[in-house]
Structure 1
Amino acid sequence: MTSLPAPRTPDPKSAPAIRWGIVAPGGIARDWTAALHATTASRVTAVGSRAQDRAQAFADEFGVERAYGSYEQLVADDGIDAVYVASPHSEHRDHALLALEAGKPVLVEKAFTRNAAEAKDVIDAARRHGLLAMEAMWTRFLPHLDVVRQCLEQGLLGDVVAVEADHGQQLYPGGPQRLADPALAGGALLDLAIYPVSFAHLALGGFATVRATGTLAETGVDASETIAVVSPTGAIGTLSSTMLVKTPCAASVSGTAARLEVNGWFYRPNTVRLIDPDDRELDRHEPPAREHGLAYQAAEFARLLEQGRTESDLLPLDETLRIMQALDEVRAQLGVRFPGE
């Protein structure tokens, strides 16, 4: 019987302790800090916002030592080792560059920037300064994704022929205002489709062609899209996202010898099932009952920083750039353009 490999992912608790500064204390920053403090040795020691009272409220909630009323003060703090950029997509480039120019390594929320040109600006600055930079695509650093990665590396599935992944959440209308706002790089693509696109890019080894169709919201941002991709070897990917309804959020990788299925919330710590061509389950990987998934990316970053590395092998900067180029193609085909582009 064919079995799945065990994940090679180190326990986040084993990563070295570093001191973090946070740019923009919003919802994702709250979740990330809670995971960091619960399951790693690292701590957030400073937080910056455009409003002093907002920064102070976050600091009080999480026991953060210093709160600043500007991002410039935050990145100038000599008591932090790295900066986590948790602002809206529209601000990622400028905030990442602000940190890098101040000599601070950066973990930048996904999607990395609004577009590939901005991503290249950040990557070029990180390489020019010799500083660590990484996209906070947390799924790439989870144990169950390492199981998928090893299956691909070992050829356990045979020749990969098809990948499917979807991500839909009911976030419009009535959800966060930024998702409806073109000025904040809103829409389903950068918030939701980034997950299936990144997953497929890993599983397929990149995209040779990208074709998209979809619908727009009244404000001009994308509401839903279906993306068809073809890999350099001719394998296909069918990807979709929407901010109008909740979808199964499942993913699969199908090869000539077997397929992998991740059913429901595929981008979170999850079960991976290995299934043969006759639909018989051969093996499964089960995650621990409770995991703070966001901690894995922070732990990876801390290990890289201690090692003097400037990027992660699990999500290299050039791959982040290629993913942003694919997202640019989708937006161009949908007719979505952000102000200032």
Structure 2
Amino acid sequence: MSPTPAAPVPAAPVPADRPLRWGVLATGKIAGSFARDLALLDDHEVVAAGSRDVERARAFVAEHGSADARGYGSYEELAADPEVDVVYVASPHGRHLEDATLCLDAGKAVLCEKALTLDAASGRRLVEHARERGLFLAEAMWMRTNPVIREVQRLVGDGALGELGEVRAELGFVADPDVARLWEPELGASALLDIGIYPLTFAHLLLGQPHTVAAAGALHERGFDVAGGATLVHDGCGDRGVEPVSSLAWTQLAQSDNTASVAGTEGRIEIGRRFHHPTSFTLVRGDDAETIDVPVIGRGYAHEAVEVAACLRAGRTESDLLPLDATVQLQELMDTILEQVGVRTRA
């Protein structure tokens, strides 16, 4: 009987006197967007990339990597690279559990694209695995680290809108029929997991976990969801004894207006189109409306990288801005919604 391999020793804090060295697992569109934002930061660099096609990996590091960056033809080789501090997992979410586990087993810190996994059970399993090994893990929900969203949170927390009563958010686009991850069940195709997660996260950030969920949606003939909406009731009765409600929608079939708002007794905040990576918002009180601009680096991916670096340099294995417990709560909520919509099985 073979001996059980020893668990990797958690990495020491990343020194502050050198760049954070990133490995990129999967080299599709989202990986390129992330790498372009990394290039705007002085203390980050892509030192390796892994793809099932070694030429794609080499082309990726030629465009985005450091001078001596390596391109690998397998994810296993990437995870084993001793120069990589943290792996950005950019594969379709149907592969996230397998790919993130591979990296954790190799002793690597992991920033994994959303949705973290296909369901709450596998999400909890991945979180427990990272905690058992003492390794950093976070879901790459870049909206949570966006400076605009954080300022909205601050204002709401400071009572700028009075007692909250309503959150509204919706996100939609027409999905390219050639993008396999959006249409192939074995890759985890789901409008909720791909884009509905943003309205849900926005409501969760401001109102917390709901106690009541009423959802409906449309299914593709192959059984996955392509559009949906939900009304959520949250805890938090104020002086009026009425709980706040969020109204959310998502679709990969139509160009919706992609806006969000949060309203209270003293005013409201409106966030314009593509609310999940905004650069400004409008604060409305009575007849007065003030548009507030907040500096954002690049498209906004850089801010999650900055947060990961701060954690790794401080030796922290979890992020306050990308909290794992909240990630699992959102997965539990998405499980409930998918069941109500009629999605019974997933890849």
Same fold (TM over 0.5): yes
Q: Partner letter of residue 252 of structure 1?
A: S
- TM-score normalised to the size of structure 1? 0.91
* Other-structure match for 1:23: 25
Which residue of 176, 181, 186 maps to 1:183? 186
1:195 equivalent in alignment to 2:194: no
Instruction: Return the offset for 1:88.
Output: 0.2
Instruction: Return the offset for 1:288.
Output: 3.9
* Other-structure match for 1:313: 320
Whether contact under 8 Å (1:15, 1:299) holds in the other structure is no
Counterparts in 2 of 1:228 and 1:299: CA distance versus 1, 3 Å: same
1:92-131 alignment runs, 5 A limit: 92-131=96-135
Q: Partner letter of residue 23 of structure 1?
A: L
Which stretches in structure 1 are left out of the alignment for 5+ residues? Answer: 1-13
Cα shift readout 1:198-217 (whole Å, capped 9, x = no counterpart): 01100112211222101112
Q: Partner letter of residue 193 of structure 1?
A: G
Whether contact under 8 Å (1:164, 1:251) holds in the other structure is yes
Whether contact under 8 Å (1:40, 1:295) holds in the other structure is no
- TM-score normalised to the size of structure 2? 0.89
CA distance in 1, matches of 2:299, 2:195: 20
Which residue of 26, 32, 35 maps to 2:34? 32
Cα shift readout 1:235-293 (whole Å, capped 9, x = no counterpart): 100000000011111000101111111011111132111112x3421x33213487331
Q: Partner letter of residue 38 of structure 1?
A: L
* Other-structure match for 1:304: 311
CA distance in 2, matches of 1:116, 1:294: 25
CA distance in 2, matches of 1:158, 1:229: 20
1:280 equivalent in alignment to 2:288: yes
SS in 2 for 1:249: coil
Cα shift readout 1:54-91 (whole Å, capped 9, x = no counterpart): 21121222235101111111111110100100000100
Over aligned residues, Cα RMSD in angstroms? 1.7
* Other-structure match for 1:206: 209
Which residue of 225, 235, 239 maps to 1:232? 235
Cα shift readout 1:133-178 (whole Å, capped 9, x = no counterpart): 1110101101101111111221111111100000001115x25122
Which residue of 252, 258, 261 maps to 1:252? 261
Counterparts in 2 of 1:339 and 1:272: CA distance versus 1, 3 Å: closer
Counterparts in 2 of 1:58 and 1:238: CA distance versus 1, 3 Å: same
Identity of aligned residues (%): 41
Q: Partner letter of residue 25 of structure 1?
A: T
- Number of residue equivalences: 324
SS in 2 for 1:298: helix
Counterparts in 2 of 1:251 and 1:339: CA distance versus 1, 3 Å: closer
SS in 2 for 1:78: coil
1:222 equivalent in alignment to 2:225: yes
* Other-structure match for 1:8: none
SS in 2 for 1:208: strand
Whether contact under 8 Å (1:269, 1:291) holds in the other structure is no
Which residue of 48, 55, 58 maps to 1:56? 58
CA distance in 2, matches of 1:157, 1:263: 18
1:330 equivalent in alignment to 2:337: yes
Whether contact under 8 Å (1:15, 1:302) holds in the other structure is no
Which stretches in structure 2 are left out of the alignment for 5+ residues? Answer: 1-15, 237-242
